[in-house]
Amino acid sequence: MTAQIPQDHAHIVDLLPAYVNGQLDASSARRVRAHLESCATCQLELASWQSIKGATTQIFAATPLPSAQLMSQVWAQIDTSEQVRIAQRWSLERALRRLWLVFRSQIPLIHKSIWVASALVCLFGLALTLLMAQHTPAQTSAAANVLVLFIVVVGASGSAFIYGSSVDPGFELTIATPTSVRFVMLCRMAIVLGYNFLLALLASAAFATVYGGSLWGFVQLWLGPLLFLSSLCLAISLFLGSAVSLICAAVIELLQTFPRSVAAHLVSLPLPSLDFGSTSPALLIAALLLLVFTVFFVPRQPRLAS
Amino acid sequence: MAAESIADDAQLIRRIARGERQALSELYARYQRSLFAYLLQLTPDYGLAEELLQDTLVAVWKCAHSFEGRSSVLTWLIGIARRQAHNTLRQRKLPLADLAALECMPATDLEPEEWALASVARDELAQAFRELSPVHREVLLLTFVQELSYQETATILEIPVGTVKSRLSNARRALRTLLEAKEDTKR
C-alpha cells in the first residue's frame, strides 16, 4: 500500500486499517503518526482497528484445518472429469467414424446403372452440342441451352432413383437397421449429386474450351436448376415413384429450354410460365426447402407404414 | 509479500498449468489455511466449506493456464474460491447476504467513537465477529488476516476501492452495535 495521505482528517481515518497492517509507505506512516499524536478521536479509531485485527487473527489461528483426505478427493474429482472428457472425445470420434462408414457403404448400394447412364447421357449431350453448327452467338447460345438441358435432366434422373423400395436392392435392410433413414437418404443424395456435379463440370469445361467463354458463367446456367430439379425429383420419387418423377423433370426442363413461342406453336396450349433459367438465390433456397421437406417426410415412408 | 515469494507462487501456477500434480499439492499446502478460513467465513457449514475448497482446487487445476500474474496468487485463489462459493450457494438456494441493505448503511467515517472497541475483551470481540454478516466478516478477514491491500480486496470483491473502505467502516460499526446490544443485555 503506497497511498499518499491527504491532510483531511477523514482520509486519515480511511488509512488507519492499512496503517495497522503496516502497509503504508514510510512517509505516509510518519504523517499518520504525527496526526495521531494530536488527535484523540483517531487514537480511539486506531485502538479499535488494532483490537479488530487482534480478534480476527485469533479467530484465524483457531480455524480448523480441512480434513487430511481433501487432496485425494480433489484428485479423484480431477481424474473423473478427465476420464469423462476423454470418453466424450472418443465417442465423438466413434460417431464420426460410423457416419463415414455409413456414407461409404451407400456407394455400392446405389443402382449401378445411375453411374453408367449419367455419364453416357452427359457425353451424348456434349457430343451433340459440339456437332451443332455454331457460327453466330445465337447458335452458340442455343448449343449451350441444349447442354444445360442434358446436364439438368441427368442430374434430376439420378436423384429420382436413389431411394425407395423399387430401386434399392438393400432397402429392406436399410429400414431394418437402426441407422437413420434420413441420414442414408442424405448420403445417397450427396453422392449422386456430387457425381453429377463432377460430370457437369467436366462437360462445361470441354464446352468452354472449345467455344471460349467463362466456365463459371456457364456453370451458373445449370447449377441452380440442377439443384432445384434434383431436390424436386427426389421429393416426387418418394410420393409418386421414380418414373413419374423422371417424366416431370423432363417436361419441366423441356419447357424451360425451348422458347415458349415455339412450344406454344407446336402444341398450341397455354403453358405454365416457370422460370428456372439460371442460378438465383430464390432457386437455391427453394432447392434447400424441398430437400428439408423431403428429409422430414422420408421416415413416414414404408418404415412407419409397415 | 516478498518479490521472491510472488515469483515462486507464479512459478508454481505455471507448473500446475503444465500438468504437474506435485505443484498443486504444494500450492494446497501453502494456502489451505487461508482458503479454508476464507470459505468458513462465507458458510458456517464445515462440510460445505470443504466441498467448496475441493471445487476451488479443481478449478485451479483446470484454469491455471489463464493466470496472467496481474494479481498475486493469493488474490487470484480467493477470487476463484469466492466465485465457486457464490455459484454453489446460488444453485442450492442457500442465503446470500443482502449486499444492497449493507451498503445502504450511512457513512460513519467522521462519527467519533463513543467508546473504543479496544476496551472489549478479545474473546468477546471474537464472538461478536462470528455474529457479523458474511459480507462484513469477509472484508475484515481479507484486510486483517490475509493482509490484502484495499486494491486487492476490491479486485476480489469486484467493487471500487471506495466501497472497500466504506464496507470496512460499516463492518466496524456493526461490530460495535453488536457489542453495545450485548452490554445492554448484561445490564
**Mean per-residue pLDDT for A275-284?**
70
Q: Using 50, 70 and 90 to split pLDDT, how confident is the model at A277?
A: low
Work out the burial of residue B59: count CB atoms within 10 Å of its CB; fewer than 13 is exposed, 13-18 middle, 19 or more buried: middle
Please report, for residues A54, A92, A182, A213, B118, the alpha-carbon distance to residue A47 in angstroms, rounded to integers and kept in the order given: 10, 64, 79, 94, 5
Q: Are B117 and A48 a contacting pair at CB < 8 A?
A: yes
How far is B123 from chain A, CA to nearest CA, in Å?
Answer: 7
CB A66 within 8 A of CB B50: yes
Query: Looking at the domain that runs over B99-186, which CATH code has it been given?
Result: 1.10.10.10
Is residue A167's pLDDT more than 70? no
> What's the mean per-residue pLDDT of chain A?
79
Say what the pLDDT of residue B71 is: 85
Please list every residue in chain B whose beta carbon sits closer than 8 Å to the beta carbon of residue A67: 50
* B3-91: CATH topology: Rna Polymerase Sigma Factor; Chain: A (1.10.1740)
Q: Which residue of A has its CA nearest to B44?
A: A63
pTM score of the predicted model = 0.57
| CB spacing of B21 vs A45 below 8 angstroms | no
Q: Is the pLDDT of residue A267 over 50?
A: no
Q: Which of B75, B119, B125 to mutate to test the interface with A (most CBs of A within 10 A)?
A: B125
- In the structure, what pLDDT confidence band is assigned to residue A262 with cuts at 50, 70 and 90? low
pLDDT category of residue A188 using cuts at 50, 70 and 90: confident
Does the pLDDT value for residue A4 go beyond 90? no
What pLDDT does B48 receive? 92
**A66 interface with B at CB cutoff 8 Å:** yes
Residue A59 and residue B130 in contact, taking contact as beta carbons nearer than 8 Å: yes
Inform me whether the C-beta atom of residue B59 falls under 8 Å from chain A C-beta atoms. Answer: no
Q: Could you read off the pLDDT tens digit of each residue along chain B, which spans 187 residues?
A: 556 676 788 899 999 999 999 999 999 999 999 999 999 888 888 999 999 999 999 999 998 998 888 888 999 999 999 999 988 888 887 765 544 444 444 444 445 555 567 777 778 888 888 888 888 999 999 999 999 999 999 999 989 999 999 999 999 989 988 888 877 776 6
Q: Can you tell me the mean pLDDT for A266-277?
A: 46
Which residue on chain B is closest to A47 by alpha carbon? B118
Instruction: Provide, as residue numbers in chain A, all residues whose Cβ is less than 8 Å from the Cβ of B40.
Output: 63
pLDDT at position B35: 94
Domain spans of chain A, in order of start: 9-62, 90-305
Query: B residues 83-122 near A, CB within 8 Å?
Result: 109-110, 112-113, 116-118, 120, 122
Q: What is the pLDDT of residue A301?
A: 54
What's the rounded mean pLDDT across residues A216-231?
Answer: 86
pLDDT band of residue A239 (cuts 50, 70, 90) is confident
- Give the pLDDT band of residue A234 (cuts 50, 70, 90): confident
What is the structure's pLDDT at A299? Answer: 57
* pLDDT value of position B153: 93
Which residue bears the cell 441493505? B101
Could you count the other beta carbons within 10 Å of the beta carbon of residue A291? 22
- Quote the pLDDT of residue B115: 58
**What's the pLDDT score for residue A278?**
66
Contacts of B109 in chain A (CB under 8 A): 10, 13-14
- Alpha-carbon gap: B113 to the closest alpha carbon of chain A (Å): 7
Name the residue ranges covered by the structural domains of chain B.
3-91, 99-186
Mutation test of the interface with chain B: which of A74, A79, A80, A81, choosing the one with the most B Cβ atoms within 10 A? A74
Compare all CA atoms of chain B with the CA of A11 and give the residue at the minimum distance: B109
Res. A142 pLDDT band, cuts 50 70 90: confident
Q: What is the DSSP letter of B141?
A: I
When scoring B50, B54, B130 by the number of chain A Cβ atoms within 10 A, the one with the most, hence best to mutate, is: B54
> What is the b/e burial string over A90-104, where b = at least 16 CB atoms within 10 angstroms of the residue's CB?
eeeeeeeeeeeeebe
In the predicted model, is pLDDT for residue A275 greater than 80? no
Retrieve residue A274's grid coordinates.
Answer: 416457370
**How confident is the model over A45-100, as pLDDT tens digits?**
898 899 899 888 888 888 888 988 899 999 999 999 888 888 888 888 888 888 88
Percent of chain A with pLDDT over 70: 79
DSSP letters along B89-122, please? Answer: HHHTT-----HHHHHTSPP-TTSPPSS-GGGS-H
